[in-house]
Amino acid sequence: MESLFLLDASGFIYRSYFAIQGMSSRQGEATNALYGFIRSFFKLQHEFQFKHCCAIFDGEHSKQARTKLYSAYKAHREVTPPDLIMQMLEAEQFCHLMGIPTLALKGVEADDSIASVVEWGKHHAKKIFICTQDKDMAQLVDDKVNLLNQHKENLIIDPKKVEEIWGVRPDQIGDYLAIIGDSSDNIPGISGFGPKTAVQLLKQYGTLEKILAHAHEIGGKKEETLIQQKEDAFLWRKLVGLIYDLDIPKETEFYQLKNPNWEKVGAFFKEKDFVSLLKMVPHAEVKSTTKYHIIKTENELEELLKKLENKKSICVDTETTAEHPLRADLVGVGLGADVEDVYYVPVNGEIPKEKILRSLKSLFESPHHSFYGHNIKYDYHILLNEQITIKHIDFDTILASYILHAHQRRHSLDELTLEYFGKKKIATTDLIGTGKKQITMAQVPIDRVGQYCCEDVEYTLKLKILLEKELKSRGLESLFYDIELPLIPVLATIERNGMYVDVPFLHTLSGEVAHEIAKLEKEIFHLAGHEFNLNSPKQLSEVLYNELQIPSAKKGKMATSTSADILESLVAAHPICKKILEYRSFEKLRSTYIDTLPSEVNPKTGRIHCQFSQSTAATGRLSCQDPNLQNIPVRTPLGQKIRHAFCPQNPDWKYLSFDYSQIELRLLAHFTEDEGLLSAFEQGVDIHTYTASQLFGVTMDKVTDEMRRKAKVVNFGIVYGQQAFGLSQELLISMKDAADFIDAYYKRYPRVKNFVEHVKHLARQTGKAVTMTGRERLIPEINSTNQTLRAQAERLAINTPLQGTAADLIKIAMLRVDEWMRHEKIQTKMIMQIHDELLFEAPQDEISLLEKKIPYFMENIFELKVPLIVQISVGKNWQEC
């Protein structure tokens, strides 16, 4: 064997289980650990192209050999979750299908099996790589045996690297671990002996035996400890040691990769919903009877238009030079009305572009035709760039897929084609490349672009046929045809309107923020006592927990975390924590918005044109990207200053904001019919003050700001399905106090608790949560054996009817407002949607009309048991709104 790769399969799977959260199949089974293991294997194989390997697992009852020596061995570990055990078995199944040799010896831990294979393999392989993150394995390293840490960019650890990392030679690692202990295995080590002492003693004496034999030379308290704990130290050495003579397969053929059963691997990936992994599977060429035609002459173009004359519904797909539609140039148009024939019309071929556009304009603007595509809003924009308006849109396959499976994120044409038809489409990168050598579609030969575009049209045609049936069978046609589809041109208009931004103001602000950041850096370095890389979690962790000795708010792996929630909990412990949070806030806003927004300005319009996605958020909310202007903070002074930069392009115009007041809490009152909530909203009192008075047993005039803040957190916590743990983190209180808060809330609003239990029960029965408009969010994890997945699913079951209905409400409002604005032919532009808020840019003489009409449309969509209230703000810029 040239090289032998040994995979610490149990280690891979165990780490993936905790590293990848919230991943499940459509049946609700946890798949996170399995997915992580498979991805790691494919990555490893791709990068090293090995022919011999073995995935080594812990055997059944693997701990028993060491628990006989020390009953507390790994005793601190919780019982292995059932869904992790299941994924271990499924990982072995995957290996079998892939032809990967596996080894799992009964009563033996993977470490010992690996050690025994290494001992045999040294005589049969030129090089052995142990793929693991387990430091125990460093004992095996020598000139022929290396560790390979995939999670550190394939870090190869040879004898020199072992000494560099741990300070001792590979043959000393067992002694080193015996001295310092191993918390992951519940091995205490010698009391008071840390890594530095262990390294120092091993460098001086060489082995644990010699250290113990020369304890009298060490002297002091350490001498006493070494003498007292001598027997324990030898026990720890046995526990961390490895077994080298197990009965393992000793034929090189056993370790050779076999040919995968790709058909069964593909079926396995489909069963687990690993659509992204399906791309790794070589697919048999899917036979297609569809004929592809590339239009190269004017006669062919005229014939095509005649063929399409009698076709009512036509599929369209555009090829362009850029992803952002308002920065893209048209390269060609794909068209098809049935699966027999599809066509590609290049605009960079021999037919004059003007002739093509004139012909296409008459087709797209005809009242007798309707069009559909995959993410047709993009094509709508591209054609508008050429002064062509798609008169009528009748379908969109990306939206249909999203409405049917909103809980999934896989709605690209490539993924759906693979999932529904087993067809691996031509990848865009195959045509234009990647990185610095990337070209545009305009530079790709027309025949290749034509093949690519026709393929897109063919599978969009085929998808429409299937998805139409699914929408009908699921009763989702009204949501699709009455809300989502009509919203496409409305969103396109908002995107094309864009928002003007005062670039000089941002440049000035950038200088001010840079000065503030530099000031914060100095203050932090002063508190730390020296300079360090503030953006390095490792260096920051060293400063906080080792140098400043700030007591950690977490245990285990999270003990040295520098995440925002951890630092917030430590603000009272040391002033440096607050400064770091301030630094991060400034730095994030500077890099994300202040210094970036000027480059987002379209040179042709002088405005920023973000894009809204209808197929991203599972609740039905619109998401904003390129850039995401919905996420500019509204409550921080710097966030407000950034919003100040957004203003009407015409200085005589104003911004108008129309914002639903506490929409989700009003919907909660409507759904629950709780008398307390209904009464509060009917009286028009501040709901958070009212809730505070109920929770704390005081009159509303006696409610303090702190009481109201806590009540607000509880109110919204209920809406988001928050439990005691989440509330305790939010309010920085104990779990018991948080649980008491929730109990007190439910006592004051008893029907809210009934609602919460009812929606969870309904979700368990039906596997989904539903909004007032019938929008569905499938929640298969609601009956999962994985407690984390199940708890998350319950939160979604509570939140979806509320947030999803709010999302539907504002979408319907946008449709009605847009229709009225078009009918009245007013100049005002709708320029932004921020979840429950609509933002407009308006001339002064239309403001009073807008203030009257828009709230009317927004407040009268559904008849609720509480009034819907819209708050109106007017300002010279976004900050003033």
Nearest-angstrom CA–CA distance, 199 and 118: 26
Asked whether residue 681 is assigned to any structural domain, the reply reads: no
Q: What is the 3-state secondary structure (H, E, C) of 303-369?
A: HHHHHHHCCCEEEEEEEECCCCHHHCCEEEEEEEEECCEEEEEECCCCCCHHHHHHHHHHHHCCCCC
**Phi/psi class of residue 312: alpha, beta or left (left: φ > 0; alpha: ψ in -120 to 50)?**
alpha
Express each pLDDT in 495-541 by its tens digit.
999 999 999 999 999 999 999 999 999 999 999 999 999 999 989 99
Question: What pLDDT does residue 559 have?
Answer: 67
Q: Which residues contact 614 (CB under 8 A, 6 or more apart)?
A: 399, 402, 484, 487, 488, 491, 622
Who wins on pLDDT, 472 or 711? 472
Question: What pLDDT does residue 409 have?
Answer: 84
**400, pLDDT greater than 90:** yes
- The band of 183, judged by pLDDT with boundaries at 50, 70 and 90, is confident
Same domain, 349 and 481: yes
Asked whether residue 235 is assigned to any structural domain, the reply reads: yes
Q: Among 475, 498, 521, which residue terminates a domain?
A: 498
Asked whether residue 682 is assigned to any structural domain, the reply reads: no
| Average pLDDT of the residues in 111-122 | 94
Express each pLDDT in 716-737 by its tens digit.
888 888 888 888 878 878 888 8
**239, pLDDT greater than 90:** no
Same domain, 312 and 393: yes
Asked whether residue 748 is assigned to any structural domain, the reply reads: no
Same domain, 315 and 217: no
Domain total in the chain:
4
**555, pLDDT greater than 70:** no
* H/E element, 198: helix 195-205
The proportion of the chain whose per-residue pLDDT surpasses 90, expressed as a percent, equals 73
Same domain, 193 and 56: no
**78, pLDDT greater than 80:** no
Express each pLDDT in 288-307 by its tens digit.
999 999 999 999 999 999 99
Asked whether residue 388 is assigned to any structural domain, the reply reads: yes
- The band of 558, judged by pLDDT with boundaries at 50, 70 and 90, is low
Q: Among 453, 469, 498, which residue terminates a domain?
A: 498
Maximum average pLDDT range among 74-83, 124-133, 150-159: 124-133
The CATH number of the domain holding residue 868 is: 3.30.70.370
| Average pLDDT of the residues in 417-432 | 92
**420, pLDDT greater than 60:** yes
Same domain, 255 and 356: no
**556, pLDDT greater than 60:** no
**417, pLDDT greater than 80:** yes
| Average pLDDT of the residues in 596-607 | 95
**820, pLDDT greater than 90:** yes
Same domain, 158 and 173: no
Who wins on pLDDT, 213 or 356? 356
Place of tokens 């929730």: 742
Who wins on pLDDT, 553 or 18? 18
Asked whether residue 580 is assigned to any structural domain, the reply reads: no
Q: Containing domain of residue 18, as a range? A: 1-163+244-274
Same domain, 461 and 444: yes
The CATH number of the domain holding residue 383 is: 3.30.420.10
Sheet with 829-834, side-by-side order of all strands: 829-834, 837-843, 653-660, 870-875
**116, pLDDT greater than 70:** yes
Alpha-helical (H) ranges within 720-825 are 724-731, 735-748, 750-766, 787-799, 805-824
Nearest-angstrom CA–CA distance, 545 and 552: 7
444 and 431 Cβ atoms separated by less than 8 Å: yes
Residue among 220, 222, 235 nearest 189 (CA) = 235
Question: What pLDDT does residue 860 have?
Answer: 95
- The band of 584, judged by pLDDT with boundaries at 50, 70 and 90, is very high
- pLDDT, the chain, mean: 92
Question: What pLDDT does residue 796 have?
Answer: 93
- The band of 674, judged by pLDDT with boundaries at 50, 70 and 90, is very high
The least confident of 132-136, 490-494, 530-534, 600-604 is 132-136
Question: What pLDDT does residue 605 have?
Answer: 94
Question: What pLDDT does residue 275 have?
Answer: 84
**864, pLDDT greater than 90:** yes
**788, pLDDT greater than 90:** no
| Average pLDDT of the residues in 587-615 | 96
Structure tokens at 870: 């819209």
322 and 295 Cβ atoms separated by less than 8 Å: no
Express each pLDDT in 45-73 by its tens digit.
999 999 999 999 998 877 777 878 878 78
Nearest-angstrom CA–CA distance, 637 and 326: 32
The CATH number of the domain holding residue 172 is: 1.10.150.20
